[in-house]
Structure 1
Amino acid sequence: MLDLRAAQPDVLVLVGTQTGNSEVVADAIADALGDLGFAAHLLDMAEAYPEVLADYRQVVAVTCTWSDGTFPDNAVDFVEALDAVRPDLSGVRFGVCGLGDRDYDPYYQTAAMRLVGLLRASGATEAQPLHDIDGGPTADDVAGAVAWAVRCATAFAR
């Protein structure tokens, strides 16, 4: 049994999606975090603003890379604002799960990697390295993302 008592109860789960695939993964991650005792707050990036990140100590973001390495439509404004505002996130631990397609190299996971960089530049600490999903997501991809989220939760408790 995981001992997560040192973790904060609230986790923000951000979703950047174009076709709904990231939302499928984010829903599964939020459910898994809920099963571990967290209050997982699912938030579409279209509704997010950079300062909301500072209200949480733990953030999990699920986003896809779209087209020529860009963010999905619902995430563009949030990411541009995050880049411009750069809120102090020095007390935040995060993980990013990226969905992409290797057939679109050299753009594979560029949006997810850029989000990792922006969060780090704002002072946040990566709890787990970027988890990537190539294509899909298949049931195995979702299960892998959930296992990664559990590792994030364990890191949040440290």
Structure 2
Amino acid sequence: MLDLSAARPDILILVGTQTGNSEIVADAIGDRLGDLGFAVHLLDMAEAYPELLEDHDQIVAVTCTWSDGTFPDNAVDFIDALESIRPALEGARFGVCGLGDRDYDPYYQTAAINLVDLLTSCGALEAAPLHGIDGGPTPADIEGAVEWAVALANAFATS
């Protein structure tokens, strides 16, 4: 049994999606983290703003890479603002789950990798390595993302 008592109770899950696949994965992650006792705040990146991140110590982002390595349409304004404002996120911990397609190499996971770099440059600590999903997501991909999120929650409790 996991001891998550040292983790903060709130987790912000940001969703960057073009076709809805990232939202499916984020919903499954949110459901599992909720089952573990976290208060999950799921937010479409179209509704997010950089200063909001300063109010959260534990952040999960689920985003796809679109087209030629860009963020999905619903995330572009948020990412642009995040790059411009660069809020102070020292003390925050995060994990990114990226959806992509290796058939679009060299752009595979570009948006997710860029988000990791951006959050790190704002002072946040990556609590677990980027979790990538190639294609899909299949039920196995979703289950893998949920398992990654549980490991991330454990990292939140121990880091």
Question: Is TM > 0.5 for Structure 1 vs Structure 2?
Answer: yes
Aligned to 2:8: 8
In 2, Cα distance between equivalents of 1:40 and 1:128:
18
In 2, Cα distance between equivalents of 1:153 and 1:32:
10
Aligned to 2:154: 154
| Correspondences of 1:14-53 after superposition (within 5 Å) | 14-53=14-53
In 2, Cα distance between equivalents of 1:48 and 1:2:
31
Deviation at 1:91, TM superposition (A): 1.2
Deviation at 1:35, TM superposition (A): 0.5
Aligned to 2:116: 116
Matching of residue 89 in structure 1 with residue 89 in structure 2: yes
Deviation at 1:49, TM superposition (A): 0.3
Deviation at 1:65, TM superposition (A): 0.1
Aligned to 1:133: 133
In 2, Cα distance between equivalents of 1:138 and 1:96:
18
Deviation at 1:112, TM superposition (A): 0.2
**1:31-55 deviations in Å (ceiling 9; x for gaps):** 0100100001000000000110110
RMSD in angstroms over aligned alpha carbons?
Answer: 0.3
Counterpart AA for 2:83: D
In 1, Cα distance between equivalents of 2:130 and 2:141:
14
**1:52-72 deviations in Å (ceiling 9; x for gaps):** 011011000000000000000
In 1, Cα distance between equivalents of 2:105 and 2:141:
20
Counterpart AA for 1:123: G
**Structure 1 vs Structure 2: percent identity of aligned residues?**
75
Which runs of 5 or more structure 1 residues have no equivalent in the other structure? none
**1:84-106 deviations in Å (ceiling 9; x for gaps):** 10000001000000000000000
In 2, Cα distance between equivalents of 1:115 and 1:152:
17
TM-score by length of 2: 0.99
In 1, Cα distance between equivalents of 2:151 and 2:123:
21
TM-score by length of 1: 0.99
